[in-house]
Each structure stands twice: as structure tokens, then as C-alpha cells.
Amino acid sequence: MSKPVEQRRRLVGALGAIAASGCLPSTASAATKRQALARSLSQMAAEYDVVVIGSGYGGAVMAARLAPGRRLAVLERGREWPPADFPSSMIDVLGQFRGALTPFGLFDYRLGQTMDVLVGSGLGGTSLINANVVAEADRDAFNAWPTKIRQDVANGVFAGYEARVKQMLAADQVIETDALRKHWFHRSTTLARTRQGVATRSVPMPIAVNLRKYNNVPNAQGVKQPPCSRCGDCVTGCRTGAKNTLDVNYLPLARAGGAEIFTRIEVDWLEHLPDGRWRVHTITRPDGITSVHGEVIAGSVVLAAGTLGSTQVLLRSRAQGLAVSPTLGTRFSGNGDLIALGYNTSVQTNVMGFGTSAPLSGEAQVGPTITIGADYRAQQPLAQRYLIEDAAVPRALVDAVRLALPLSAGIFTDFPAAQRVARDLLYSRTDGALNHSMVYLGIGHDSASGRIQLDAWGNAQVVWPNVMQEPFVARLKAEMERHALVFGGRYVDYPRTSPIFGGALTSVHPLGGCPMGEQGDGGVVNADGQVFDARVGGVAVYSNLRVVDGSIAPASIGVNPLLTIAALAERAAEHFA
Amino acid sequence: MKRLLALVLLTLLALTSTAASAARGLKFAEEMRGYAYWDGEYRNASVSLKVTIQDIDKWSVDPNYPATVTGTLFMDRVPAQPISGTLQILAPAPNDDGRLLTYRFTSATLQFNGIKHVRDSAGVEVFDDMTTLHGMFQPKGQTPPSILELLYQALWTSELHFEWWDPTTVWNFTMSFQTINTPWYEVLEVEAIFVVTVFGALAHTLFPWLC
């Protein structure tokens, strides 16, 4: 990609992300020292039994389960992130948007015409920058999935995989005595909506955060973890080291099982060798910028580079001659994500993250980014179900957001509301409009009719012309507005969603692109993640090439998808032969 | 005639001595509105208080002197309930350069402890400091938060405002002042003691018609 174009893309991406208020990153200081998991690239062998590409919820689980007894390598494009290295200021965050000049950046923000996508990049994948919600999908969300998966769901086998993941991720949940204002606020507005006759209920969200289990002692995988500091900065990387990211559970388990983990190595494309093995074409950047091409031979490949990453590798491989299903790139779903704010209510919500800085006066704790949801899934057809979760603004974005929102929110004539806005424009304090707001992450169901294709530089991009007309958008907006109104707040679009900034949605849960199907004309992979062999057609697969990540979901999941993805990986690992 | 004159003098003397022996006081009404966290959710709430300073002279020299508070608490989806308690007006804030108005009251089922923190450095925001009550509603009998916890650990969960921007509220407040055991010729003095003590130099700006 040319430098000016790349710089422009990064700038626009960064601005969009800043505007996004509650969903992105920031954070701060030194925390727990951890033993490095990754090896030097010079130690990489020429051949492995299994090469796992990517270290997110698919790759980390597969590596942990497959490593014992096999020579297995994990290839991660990003870097390893000790907690103290996560960005803490807005400048730091801006410098961590991944691009040609910053290939090891933490945030992979892909701009689209109508849909942007944000995922994490680094050892542990998106677990580094998500809110770590470990939620089960509705059972009928699997109706569009292959028969074998549906059977496992119906007979409880899939629930066993989910239970295994929950145990590994040590999911916990915020309780009443944690006294988190944003948690209380969201519960209060949800109860108000219930009283208004709406079929909803308030549900604490299980989260993979060490809220209280380990107090600076080693966790089950031997990684020392302090408890959550309630700083509200989950999504810019937890500088406390309290998030149960994959580098404190599945990846240490993989390493203990013999996996060789390498970072800063990106996979370009895959070549099927005559002997049935795979040549994995790689790119490394010894100086951080210049690309050096390399290769490694794999008896078996597990492609787990994420929805965009895995689809991108297969699209590039197809361009090099690999015969894959024509459905490659289809069924993209943003998982019905909608980010917005209930702005300037009368209640102080404490949504302003403080990272490792001292909290502002009047705000002792914010809490994990997501703690509770308003659940609209009961007694509704699948397509009309949704969740609205609470969120927080990470420290790095607080000042930008508090100054930007008054411009998009319009004028308040009510004196206290106007006074709060004025405070935000004049000071960084807890009695301003931003800290009387609620950041919402809505998750619904979309039609999964987006498409992933390669742009002129060979990078995956999302194309979905009519996504703003998807019914979930209006449904979520209307309900978020009503939540905001309970305490006199005003619905405000996530800035990138506003027509002023392009009117695009942003998904933090991209799915699809390599959808599962019963056979090659209906999907890219089968229920076990094996890639259909288009040379043969039907149910024939490349038995030693699997895709195991969010890209294989054939439809929106309707909740934060990490549990479903990791459970799919547990299943795929068990079926690995 | 002499007898009548003596009777009048004696009566006047008795009245004067009665007035002098009972402490001069002041009472006023205060309404505040906002939100309260109660029984697992935030609710719109308001209180209508009658504050009685039984001895204004003692109060003006002793910042810890408690005024008595009675009134009614209104909270969404909770029946209105009578409340009673105390109010310390402008005691020095612990470990701080400001002062506190400390409200403590109870009803049959709940208790409230809260503070208004008036910072010395508040500047024009003294209006907000004087009128913003941060506190915690709890079931009666629970251990209340300490002043330090309310002040420095942000443990408060409810916020009530005397709505100084609302002319009706301000009018009702200013018109509610009544003296207790105060001869007519000392009424202004008692009111002035209150205003000057509470608002200090700001009294001239806030309530010039009372000074």
C-alpha cells in the first residue's frame, strides 16, 4: 500500500475510533511482570506437524488442545503485550492503530464504506481489547448452522464445550456490593422499561475478568494476576493485568504442552503441496517496516486469524490457485452491533475510565467495561432479539469524547443539563455531561449479507451497501433512546454512525466470510472447520486445512461471540484427527 | 390608675424576661430534588424539609450545633414518608479547607446520611456546592457511611439539589423563614445572623433583600 494512502487510512480510522467513544482503548502504567510466551523467530523450525495461524479465541484454544504430542507452532502477526505496555494516553492509542508503518499496532481498525471493523492484534488476539463477555448464544441461533453442530447443541454436547471454556476463562460477574454506578444505572433504566410494558430483563454479564478470585497470586495456569482495579479501561488493554485474556490461560497451557509461539509473523497465503502438506507463506518485518518473505511447512494448518484475517488469507490463496468454495467472503455479519450513547442524564454514571491514573474526585471506580445487559431475547423471533449492554469510555478517549459530544448532541435548554455540558467543555471532572451518560453496546441479529473482498492492496475489506437499512439498526436505536430518556438523557449516535462522519456502522464482533455449510456449494468449511475442496466438490475437504474462528459463523450470534467461537474451537480440537 | 400602671409594667417586665430567657431561633423550609439509589435501582426523589435552628446564637458560634429537621420524603414507587433528623450547617470539613452541611434523617424504614461540601475555593460554584446534597439512603439500622467516605471515597449514591435556578423554589425558600422566640425588633437581626453565617460575603449577592 502506498504511504500517503496508508497514512490517510490510518488517520481516518483513528478519528473514527476516537469518535466512537466507549469502544476503544487506552490505559496506563506498570503492572504485573509476566514470563514471555513467545520465542524468537530465529528459533522457528522449517516444518511443524501443525501450524496454528492466529492466537485469538480459535487459535489459542486449538493450540492448547493440540500441542501435546505434536510439534506445533503458533504464528501471531502482532506482538506480545505485557500489561504495562498497553497504551494509556490518546497519543499512545493513536500510535497503536495497525498500518503499514505500525504493523504491530494493537488495534486493527478497518474502514469500510458502510461498515468499519475493529479487532485486536497481538498475542491473544481480540481478547486483548474486548470486554471479555462470556455469554451463551441462544440455542436457536444455531438453526442456520450445519447439522452436526445443531445436533451437538440439541444434545448438550456443545454446552459441555462452553462449560470448558468458561472454566478456562474463569468467568465471573459484577455483584451488587461492587457498587458500580453504571451497572446500577443500566439496571434501573431496564427496570423502568419493564414497568413500561417492554419485554426485557436485566442480566449481569459473565466476564472473563479477575474481579476477586486471584489477589496477586498465580491463576490456574500459573500466571500471577492482580484483581480488577475497576478502572474502566478494558478495551484499551488491561494495564492492571486483571483481564483473563488468552495470554493468561489457553496460551500458557499451549506453551506448557509444547507449543512454540512466535509473534510478529504474518501469514500471507497458503500453498497446497503435492504431498498434501501446506507451505505457509509468511511475512516478517525485522526492522518493523520492511517486509521479508518466508515460509514454513505444515502437516496441518489451523487458520484462526479472525474473520477478516482468515478470509483474507484464503482469498489470497485462492488468487494463487487454491480451489475453495465460491461462498468464500460471503455471509459477513457485524453481529448486529450498534454503539451509541445515552447522553447527559440526570444520574452520575461513572463511565469515565481512569486507567492507572488516580480516579477523578467523585469517581472512585468505574468497573469493567461491560457488566450488565438489558436482555430483549425472550419470546421474540430470533431476528428481533437483542441485548443492550453497558460500557465505559477508556481513559485515553475521555477528553476527546467529553469535548466532542456537545457538538453532536445539540443544545440543552434544561439548566442542570446545560450546566453539565458547560462543565465538560471547561473541565475534566466527574460532574459533567459525559459522566452522566451511558455508553451502549447493542448486539442484535443482522442478515449476514455483507461480503469480504480484497482491496487493491490485497487487504480484506467489508462491503455491505444497505447495512444501515437492516431492521436491527432502527430497533436498537429506538430502545437505546428510551433507556436514555428514563433519566432525561438524549440518544447520541456513535460519531462514525452519524451522517456527518460517514454514516457507517462499526462492528467489534465481525463474523463470517468462511461460513460453515453442509457442503462446498453452501459454505467454505464443514462443521469441524475443514475447508471444502472445490476441485472435488460436495463434502470433500482438505482434511488438514481448518478454519477455526469467528469467520466460520454462518450467521449473527446475537451475543458477544467469544464463548461460541472458543467452544467451536474446543469442538474442532476434539474432532481433530 | 396607679394600680393599673403597675400592672402594665409588671406584665411588660414578665414578657420581656420570658423572651430573654428563651433562646432566639429560626426555622425555614427547604425543598430538594434529584435521584436516590434505593432497593436496587435509581429513582427520582425529593425531600421537603422544615429546618429549625432552636438557638441561633449558639449555632452561629458553634459549627457543630445541630438544627432539627422534619419533613417528607418522596421517592418513585415508595410511599411518601415522614422523616426527622438533624442538620449541621457549615461544620469544618475534615482534612479539607471547606465546610460541610451534614444532613441525617430517618423515616420508619430508612435512613439518610449526606453532605453538601462547600469548598473554600469554589468561586462561583459556591452556588452548586451550597445546594448539592450527596448522600446515601439505607434501610434503617445499617452502618452509615462516614463523612470521610462520603467526602473522599465518593461512596454517595444519591444526589439531591436545592434548585437555585428555579425562581419558585428560591421564592418559597426565602419566604419560609420564621423566627422563634424573637421579639419583633430582633427579627431582622436573627435573620441576618443566619444569612451572614451561611452565606458570608455572598449574602449580599444572593439575598440582598434580607440583609
Q: Are A438 and A417 in contact (CB under 8 A)?
A: no
H-helix or E-strand spanning residue B66: strand B66-75
A541 SS3 class = strand
Nearest CA to A366 out of A349, A343, A379 is that of A349
Model ipTM over 0.95? no
Quote the cell numbers at residue B153: 471515597
Tell me the angle at which helices A395-409 and A415-426 cross, rounded to the nearest 10 degrees.
130
Greatest Cα pair distance in chain B: 75
User: Using the beta-carbon criterion (under 8 Å), do B41 and A184 form an inter-chain contact?
Assistant: yes
Q: Which of A185, A361, A364 shows the shortest C-beta gap to B42?
A: A185
Q: How far is A415 from chain B (nearest CA, A)?
A: 7
CB contact under 8 A, A362 and B154: yes
Structural contact between residues A464 and A112, judged by C-beta atoms closer than 8 angstroms: yes
Could you tell me if A337 lies within 8 Å of chain B, comparing CB atoms? no
Widest Cα–Cα separation across chain A: 75
A552 close to A331: Cβ distance less than 8 angstroms: no
Q: Which of A285, A331, A382, A245 is nearest to A547 (CA)?
A: A331
Is B162 in CB contact (< 8 Å) with chain A?
A: no
Name A120's bridge partners: A107
Beta carbons of B159 and A184 less than 8 Å apart? no
Query: What cell was used for A12?
Result: 481516518
pLDDT by 10-residue block (mean), chain A, 577 residues: 46 45 38 84 98 98 98 98 95 95 96 96 98 97 97 98 98 96 98 97 98 94 95 97 98 98 98 98 91 97 98 98 98 98 98 90 89 95 97 96 92 96 94 97 98 96 96 98 98 89 94 98 98 97 98 98 98 94
Rg of chain B, C-alpha, whole Å: 20
Res A2: pLDDT: 45
Contacts of A429 in chain B (CB under 8 A): none
Q: Do β-strands B132-139 and B158-161 pair in parallel, antiparallel, or remain unpaired?
A: antiparallel
Q: Residue A300 is inside which H or E element, if any?
A: strand A292-303
Give the C-alpha distances (Å, rounded to integers) separating A380 from A50, A190, A390, A541.
43, 17, 22, 37
Q: What is the mean pLDDT of residues B4-16?
A: 52
* φ, ψ (nearest 5 deg) of residue B176: -85, -10
**Average pLDDT over chain B, rounded to whole?**
87
Nearest Cα residue to A435 out of A380, A323, A353: A353
pLDDT tens-digit readout, B54-69: 999 999 888 889 999 9
What pLDDT is attached to residue A432? Answer: 97
Q: Which amino acid is at A367?
A: G
Query: How open is the CA angle A429-A434-A435, to the nearest 5 degrees?
Result: 60
- Cβ–Cβ gap A346/B35 under 8 Å: yes
pLDDT class for B200, splitting at 50, 70, 90? low
- What is the reported pLDDT for A27? 37
Give the mean pLDDT of B136-150: 94
Give residues 416 to 455 of A whose Cβ lies within 8 Å of B: 416, 419, 430
Three-state DSSP class for residue B190: helix
Between B78 and A15, the more confident residue is: B78
What is the spatial distance between Cα B110 and Cα B140, in angstroms, rounded to a whole number? 4
- Chain A hits for B35, CB-CB cut-off 8 Å, are 346-347, 487
Kindly identify which residue of chain B lies nearest to residue A350, measuring between CA atoms: B154
User: How far does the CA of residue A84 sit from the closest CA of chain B (Å)?
Assistant: 26
Sign of CA dihedral B41, B46, B48, B53: positive
User: Given CB atoms, is A179 within the 8 Å cutoff of chain B?
Assistant: yes
- Residue A53 to residue A313: CA distance in whole angstroms: 10
Q: Answer whether A412 touches B (CB < 8 Å).
A: no
Q: Which helix (H) or strand (E) holds A537?
A: none
Q: Specify the pLDDT at position A364.
A: 81
Q: Is A501 helix (H, G, I), strand (E, B) or coil?
A: helix
Chain A CB contacts of B43 below 8 Å? 188
Subunit contact A364:B155, Cβ cutoff 8 A: yes
Give the model's pLDDT for residue B202: 52
Q: At what angle do helices A471-486 and A181-195 cross, to 10 degrees?
A: 100
pLDDT of the residue at B91: 83
Q: Is the dihedral of CA A142, A148, A152, A157 positive or negative?
A: negative
Distance (Å) of CA B32 to CA A97, A143, A315, B101, B132: 48, 54, 64, 14, 9
Among the listed residues B73, B93, B85, B69, the one whose alpha carbon sits nearest the alpha carbon of residue B147? B93
A187/B40 touch (CB, cutoff 8 Å), yes or no: yes
- Is residue A251 within 8 A of residue A35, CB to CB? The reply is no
Which of A191, A364, A415 has its CB closest to that of B41? A191
Q: Are the C-beta atoms of A524 and A328 separated by less than 8 Å? A: yes
Nearest to B159 by CA among A354, A430, A232, A359: A430
Q: Do A347 and B42 touch (CB under 8 A)?
A: yes
Q: Looking at the partner chain, which of A348, A362, A415 has a beta carbon nearest the beta carbon of B165?
A: A415
Q: Which three cell numbers stand for residue A160?
A: 459441555
Using a CB–CB cutoff of 8 Å, tell me whether A177 touches chain B: no
H-state helical runs in chain B: 2-21, 56-61, 126-131, 147-152, 167-175, 187-199, 203-206
* Residue A566 confidence (pLDDT): 98
Q: Are strands A372-375 and A337-343 parallel, antiparallel or unpaired?
A: unpaired
Check if B64 contacts A (Cβ < 8 Å): no
B164 touches chain A (CB under 8 A): no
Backbone phi, psi, residue A268, to 5°: -90, -55
Task: Calculate ∠ Cα B137-B142-B148, nearest 5°.
Answer: 70
End-to-end CA, chain A: 39
B35–A347 CB contact, under 8 Å: yes
Residue type, A201: R
Chain A within 8 Å of B142 (Cβ-Cβ)? no
Is B39 in the A-facing interface, judged by CB distances under 8 Å?
Answer: no
Q: Hey, which residues does A481 pair with through a beta bridge?
A: none
Closest chain B residue to the Cα of A177, Cα to Cα: B40
Which letter does DSSP use for residue A344 in this model?
Answer: S
Q: Cβ of B191 under 8 Å from any chain A Cβ?
A: no
Where are the extended beta strands (E) located within A129-243?
201-204, 217-218, 224-225
Contact A74, A261 (CB under 8 A): yes
Sign of CA pseudo-dihedral A350, A353, A354, A356: positive
pLDDT recorded at residue A25: 37
Q: In what order do the strands lie in the sheet with A505-507?
A: A107-110, A115-120, A505-507
C-alpha cell at B71: 419533613
Residue B129 contacts A, CB cutoff 8 Å: no
Residue with cell 433504566: A189
> Three cell numbers at A55?
492466537
* Cβ neighbours for A290, distance < 8 A, ≥ 6 positions apart: none
pLDDT band at B145 (very low <50, low <70, confident <90, very high): very high
Chain B residues whose beta carbon lies within 8 Å of the beta carbon of residue A364:
153-155
Count of A-B CB contacts under 8 Å: 35
pTM: 0.91
**Residue A182 and residue A392 in contact, taking contact as beta carbons nearer than 8 Å:** yes
Please check whether residue B38 touches A, CB under 8 A.
Answer: no
Handedness of CA B130, B136, B137, B140 (dihedral sign): negative
* DSSP class of B27: E
Cβ distance B35 to A487 less than 8 Å, yes or no, reads: yes
A27 touches A394 (CB < 8 A):
yes
CB A306 within 8 A of CB A550: yes
Residue B90's pLDDT is 81
Helices A3-19, A395-409: crossing angle, 10 deg rounding? 80
Q: What is the DSSP code (8-state) at residue A226?
A: P
Total H helices, total E strands in chain B: 7, 9
